[in-house]
């Protein structure tokens, strides 16, 4: 088990402190609020850094020509997906109409 550490104190304008205190939940201290905010921001930045690393790896792979498809292949795939969706919609409407009529 590690010991707790103290973060450096920060100076804020009086109106900033007042606005923070105004949003505290019942029983929540300013210290708890700040600790929670710091932890959330650290988690957000870790996730952001991981996303950037994945994007950079994807760009490196793309530069090597791995896993990319041509614009024509992409568009034809999208066209197939759209036609399939239209077919499924028509079938669903037709089935609903048959149920309503019978």
Write the DSSP assignment of 76-88 as a string of letters. Answer: HHHHHHHHHHHHH
Same domain, yes or no: 63 and 15: yes
Per-residue pLDDT tens for 49-68? 999 999 999 888 877 776 66
Same domain, yes or no: 11 and 49: yes
Same domain, yes or no: 62 and 73: no
Average pLDDT over the chain reads 91
Work out the average pLDDT over 22-35. Answer: 96
Q: State the Cα–Cα distance between residues 26 and 20, nearest whole angstrom.
A: 13
pLDDT at residue number 67: 64
* 88 occurs within a structural domain: yes
Same domain, yes or no: 23 and 54: yes
Give, in degrees to the nearest 5, the angle at Cα 98 between 94 and 102: 175
User: Is 56:47 a contact under the CB 8 Å cutoff?
Assistant: no
Q: State the Cα–Cα distance between residues 31 and 9, nearest whole angstrom.
A: 11
User: Residue 33: pLDDT above 70?
Assistant: yes
Same domain, yes or no: 14 and 64: yes
Same domain, yes or no: 57 and 92: no
Same domain, yes or no: 14 and 61: yes
Residues sharing a CB contact under 8 Å with residue 23, sequence separation 6 or more, in sequence order: 33
* 100 occurs within a structural domain: yes
Give me the domain span that covers residue 74.
69-102
Question: 37: closest CA among 58, 7, 69, 60?
Answer: 7
Counted domains in the chain? 2
Work out the average pLDDT over 19-30. Answer: 96
């Amino acid at each position: 088990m590690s010991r707790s550490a103290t973060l450096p104190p920060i100076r804020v304008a009086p109106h900033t402190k007042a606005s923070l205190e105004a949003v505290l939940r019942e029983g929540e201290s300013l210290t708890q609020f700040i600790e929670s905010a710091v932890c959330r921001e650290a988690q957000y930045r870790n996730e952001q850094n991981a996303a950037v690393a994945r994007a950079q790896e994807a760009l490196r792979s793309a530069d090597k020509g791995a896993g990319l498809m041509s614009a024509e292949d992409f568009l034809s795939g999208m066209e197939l997906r759209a036609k399939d969706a239209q077919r499924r919609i028509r079938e669903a409407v037709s089935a609903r109409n048959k149920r309503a009529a019978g």
